[in-house]
Structure 1
Amino acid sequence: MVKCIMVQGTSSNAGKSVLVAALCRIYSRKGLKVTPFKSQNMSLNSYTTKENGEIAIAQVLQAEACDVEPSIHMNPVLLKPKGNFKSQVIIQGKVIGDMNFYDYQHKFRDTALKAINESLAVLKEEYDLIIIEGAGSPAEINMRKEDIANMEIAHLADAEVLLVADIDRGGVFASIAGTFMLLDEYDRKRLKAVIINKFSGNLDILMPGIDKIEKIINSPVLGVLPYDHDLHLPEEDSASLKTHKFDNKKDIIIGVLKLPKIANFTDIDPFEFEEDVGLKMINLFDDFHKITKNIDGLIIPGTRNSVDDLIQIKQHNIAEKIRELSDRIPIIGICGGYQILGEKIIDENKKESEHGTVEGLGLLKVETNFNQNEKIVEQSEGVITNSIKELEGEIVRGYEIHEGTTKLKGSKPLLKINKGFGNTNDREYDGACENNVIGTYFHGIFHNYNFRQKFLNDIRKKKGLNLKYEKDPYETKKAYSLDKLAKLVQDNLDMEFIDELIRNKHDKDN
């Protein structure tokens, strides 16, 4: 029979996602068929699964830790914030519509819970162990009746719960005790143990507090996980953009326009693994001319609202400055960034925003139209055209998540489509190229090492630097980080306790 265990946190960003990834790695390597599961996630970083549906990027990493293909059933409810207390609601990979917070919680809960039940049942048919991630904190007592992410799911899945607490932000013992105290007896019985995360310092100093908190909550602390700053793993929270450290000593500096409504910013993650590359996050209110003076390339990433962010670019008087940059350095727009680079965004029905049709930056001879009804969500593959001579015929893979279709109006296409949607409904080409400027709908374009290598080697050549042709450092170091994370957990937690949770359930079922 299937066993479910659950990781909940005393707060957001306590480390639930990475602990689930670690446990997925550990138990899959022990020979169990393991899958992650998060009933409801709120994230702007999403991924297209094999079913051509959207799930949060965190569950993709966790699936990778299990060596299994991501599925819509690993994250049956995804909420993508749109502002003004509204979110786009995605159920089992498909868009249902936009809802405000109140209507979602009070009028849609039963529908969401039904999908969660269905997805959990699907996973139980295929896997031995389901490792569930909670959301936020289970002690949100004002919303317990509406809960479909924490204790309600623990009861539904008959899952024992491990509680993770972040010591880095302070008040760790109060947050642990407060969580136990605020849960009623029915929920509290699910909590089996505590894990303290992100610790830096002398463990001996912490031990008296651990002894006391174990007596207060009448549950064990399984261990203390050290804060390892060398782990490089994708993150789903936009707050993580602050952790992209700018190092002006790097040989190459890539600027990333931090759009107000930025989304799918994991597209830039591979650059973090290039030893000679630094990322510079550029806010619209920065001194754009000063901060871009020494950058070697500019990326305009995805956005949950292309028109609104384009308007912001114009209002901050940097549209012309981006055009001037294009004479000097390569500029690449991905998804919404691609749409912004075009000549026009047509939105007569004001589907994207209240601004309607707007003029783009005009760096690509394309037009984007928002008149189509359905959101495009597909895994995609294309072949690079002769627009990039050195890579002509190279296969590129990615995924598409966009509203709006784009029509070529004179620019060369970047890719000939093998699988996916691309620019227009003829599904023949994706993207566009014009001098130093490239646009594409393919999220994950820089995860294709040969494409990223060509982009960076062109810059290296221009600056007189040594060209690089080694193995993909992103994939190598990501796998290394997952293994290192799993070892860190095994070395610092009482794994026999967790093993016993699983064994007891199996024994009871058998």
Structure 2
Amino acid sequence: MTHTLLVAGTASHVGKTTVVAGLCRLFASLDTPVAPYKAQNMSNNARVVPTPSGETGEIGVSQYIQARAGDVHPTTDVNPVLLKPRGDGDSQVVINGQAVGHYEAREYYAEHWDRARSMARASWERLAEEYEYVIAEGAGSIAEINLHHRDLANVETARFADADILLVGDIERGGVFGSLLGTLSLLPDDLRARVVGCLITKFRGDRSLLTPGIEAFERRTGVPVLGVLPYDDPGLPEEDSVALPPETERATIGGDDGVPETESVTIAVPRLPRISNFTDLTPLERTPGVRVMYLPLSAGKQLTDADAVVVPGTKNTVDDCLALRSNGFDASLRAFDGPIVGICGGYQLLGERLTNAAVEATGSVDVVEGVGVLPTETRFSTEKHVEPVSRTIHGCGPLDGATGTVTGYEIHMGETKLLSPVDQPFDGTGAATDRVLGTYVHGLFENRPVREAFLDSVFAHAGLVRPEADESARRVDLEAAYDRAADLIREHVDLEPLGLPT
């Protein structure tokens, strides 16, 4: 019989994703068949996977990495419902990997929630037939009492999966005992009875200082605290933009590698309001001698501090292109003389123009001028392109000298055509000039030949020599991140009350 554990939280960003990934990795190391699951996720960071019927679909990046941590080849069953926010309260609804349209929350609950629940349950049932354990991740807080009647990832999952519940609270925010106690008190009686323990995450300092609070909490609630995880980022990709700096703040990631700032390069990333798949930047953030600087759109003049620019994906290319222009960031990009790479939506907005824009944008505009640094035009339609890709590299522009194969995935609406002949870096796709490259391939910098060639061009433009350093020191390798997440669970959590292997 399958055992399902729901890892629920007192709030968003309390560490649920890391806990599930760590549990999946731990079980895999014990040769225990385990699968992750999240009935409904909200994220613009997605990965391409097969559906159970063999088609191609998309899931949230967290369930992808959790599956890989558990040595599972993921399908859309691990995340049957994905909501991809586009701004202004509107999200693209993806069910079983396929986009079904754009809806505001009220429309989604009125028109699609019953179907979503049915499909989510069917996905869990297929996983339960194949795996001994299913580790489900909740969404946000399980204590949102206004949503309990339609809380698919928490309440409904716990009920249809007959799941035990592990409640996770984040002590870094302060008030962890109040958060745990308040959450328990707001749960429906049947869910409250399913809570087998609590877990405190992101603790810094002397563990013994928590003992009086833990003992008092356990006396008051009768619910054991099964572990306290120290503050330690294993290096897993982030699920959503909560982990990014606010749109109005400049922030730099990297620089903790021992390489002096005078010997490092800075890669600027415009902080698009509807940024998506920003995990494409993670391999650069974790490379020695590289600092990734997220810039507010109002700070375009600060590109003078950068040695290169990467324009990431966006869930709404048209509106983000208009936001670039209204802030003057487009002019800064045109004036920038260093390497520029645009990925997916970033590729689209670097072109000359966007047509049939009303399909993509929240307004009624039909043609929007792009940044104009690539001779391309993108026409939008309602058809969505989702596929894994593997292509031969033809080194050119910022990737001059790169050879081999690039693998990744494409998720986009709209088709891009060349308006004049330029180099195409990947088997007749994408576009490149001597300093600007655009491509639809997500996961681009996970490919070492691409990453090396791009950084060679960035260091050369900066007049610097790339430092010789072990990339593992910055944790480019996800396998090591999975192992660290498992070690956190193994060393700090009592698994026996969860009914899980020890």
Alignment TM-score > 0.5, same fold: yes
User: 1:245 deviation in Å?
Assistant: 2.9
Secondary structure at the counterpart of residue 119 of structure 1: helix
Q: Structure 1 263/386 Cα, relative in aligned 2: closer, same or farther at 3 Å?
A: closer
2:280 is matched with: 267
The aligned amino acid for 2:379 is N
Q: Equivalent residue for 2:424?
A: 414
In the other structure, the counterpart of 1:455 is 454
Count of aligned residue pairs for this structure pair: 485
Matching residue's letter, 1:357: V
1:183-218 Cα distance to aligned partner (Å, 9 max, x none): 132111111100111111222221111001011111
SS in 2 for 1:116: helix
Do residues 59 (structure 1) and 63 (structure 2) align?
Answer: yes
- Per the alignment, residue 236 of structure 1 pairs with 239
1:226 and 1:95 map into 2 onto residues whose CA distance is: 39
Secondary structure of 2:268 counterpart: strand
Q: CA RMSD in A?
A: 2.1
State the Cα distance separating 1:448 from its structure 2 match: 0.6
Superposition TM-score, scaled by structure 1 size: 0.90
Q: Partners of 1:434 and 1:390 in 2: how far apart?
A: 11
Superposition deviation, residue 335 in structure 1: 0.5
**Equivalent in the alignment of 1:402:** 412
Structure 2: which amino acid aligns with 1:217?
Answer: T
Partner of 1:425: none
Give the distance between the partners of 2:46 and 2:214, measured in 1 at CA: 37
Counterpart secondary structure, 1:153: helix
Higher alpha-carbon deviation: 337-346 or 80-89: 80-89
330-339 or 404-413: which moved more?
404-413
**What SS class does the counterpart of residue 374 from structure 1 fall into?**
strand
Q: In the alignment, residue 268 of structure 1 is paired with which amino acid?
A: L
Q: Give 1:25-40 correspondences, 5 Å limit.
A: 25-40=25-40
Q: 1:54-453 counterparts in 2 under 5 A?
A: 54-229=58-233, 231-242=234-245, 245=253, 247=255, 248=261, 251-286=264-299, 288-289=300-301, 291-325=302-336, 328-347=337-356, 350-354=359-363, 355-370=365-380, 372-385=381-394, 387=396, 391=401, 394-417=404-427, 429-453=428-452
What is the CA-CA distance between 1:472 and the residue it aligns to? 7.2
- When residues 391 and 67 of structure 1 are mapped into structure 2, their CA distance, relative to the original with a 3 A threshold, is farther
Post-superposition offset of 1:481: 2.3
Q: Deviations over 1:401-439 (max 9, x none)?
A: 11110001224343444xxxxxxxxxxx32100120000
In structure 2, relative to structure 1, the CA distance for the partners of 1:44 and 1:476 (3 Å cut) is closer
Q: Which moved more, 1:152-161 or 1:243-252?
A: 243-252
For 2:208, give the aligned amino acid: D
Contact 1:383 1:416 in 2 (8 A): yes
In structure 2, what is the Cα distance between the partners aligned to 1:349 and 1:252?
Answer: 39
Give a deviation string over 1:94-145, Cα, whole Å, max 9, x none: 0011111112223322100111011112212322211100111121111111
The amino acid across from 1:376 in the alignment is: H
Does the CA contact (< 8 Å) of 1:44 and 1:80 recur in 2? yes
Instruction: Identify if the C-alpha distance between structure 1 residues 10 and 249 changes in structure 2 by more than 3 Å, giving closer, same or farther.
Output: farther
Distance 2:262 2:64 in 1: 33
1:127-172 residue CA offsets vs partner (Å, 9 max, x unmatched): 2211100111121111111121112211111111100011110111
Q: Are the equivalent residues in 2 in contact too, given 1:384–1:391 (CA < 8 A)?
A: no
State the match for 2:258 in structure 1: none
Task: Assess, with a 3 A threshold, how the Cα gap between structure 1 residues 496 and 386 changes in structure 2: closer, same or farther.
Answer: closer
Cα distance change on mapping 1:264 and 1:362 into 2, 3 Å: same
| TM-score (normalised: structure 2) | 0.92
205-214 or 310-319, larger mean C-alpha shift: 310-319
1:421 aligned residue: none
Q: Is the 1:411–1:434 Cα contact (8 Å) retained in structure 2? A: no
CA-to-aligned-CA distance 1:289-342 (integer Å, 9 cap, x gap): 2x22231110011011111111111111222221110xx210000011101111
Contact kept? 1:250, 1:278, Cα under 8 Å: no
Distance 1:103 1:8 in 2: 26
Summarize the Cα distance change of 1:460–1:234 in structure 2 as closer, same or farther, 3 Å threshold.
same
Decide whether the 8 Å contact of 1:413 with 1:430 is kept in 2. Answer: no
Alpha-carbon distance between aligned partners in 2 of 1:416 and 1:293, rounded to the nearest angstrom: 30
User: Is there any run of 5+ residues in structure 1 with no aligned partner, and where?
Assistant: 418-428, 505-510
1:411, 1:432 within 8 Å by CA — same for their partners in 2?
no
Give the letter for the 1:208 counterpart.
P
Q: 1:192 to 1:333 in 2, by over 3 A?
A: same
Counterpart CA distance in 2 for 1:192 and 1:466 is 51
Q: Cα gap change, 1:271/1:172 in structure 2, threshold over 3 Å: closer, same or farther?
A: same
Please report how far the alpha carbon of residue 263 of structure 1 lies from its aligned counterpart in structure 2 after TM superposition.
0.8
Whether 1:43 aligns to 2:43 is: yes
**Is contact 2:166-2:198 (8 Å) kept?**
yes
- Specify the SS of the correspondent of 2:153: coil
Measured after TM superposition, the shift of residue 246 of structure 1 is 5.6
Contact 1:383 1:392 in 2 (8 A): no
Equivalent residue letter for 1:254: I
The answer as to whether partners of 2:402 and 2:449 remain within 8 angstroms in 1 is no
Aligned mates of 1:357, 1:315 — CA distance in 2: 16
User: For residue 478 of structure 2, what is the aligned residue in structure 1?
Assistant: 478
Structure 2 segments unaligned to the other structure (5+ residues): 246-250, 256-260
1:507 corresponds to which residue? none
CA contact (8 A) 2:396 2:434 kept: no
Q: Is the alpha carbon distance of 1:472 and 1:52 closer, same or farther for their aligned partners in structure 2, counting shifts above 3 Å?
A: farther
- Counting aligned pairs with the same residue, the percent is 39
The one-letter code matched in structure 2 to 1:497 is P
Partner of 2:253: helix, strand, or coil?
coil
Structure 2 distance, partners of 1:142, 1:250, is 53
Contact 2:277 2:312 in 1 (8 A): yes
- SS where residue 192 of structure 1 aligns? strand
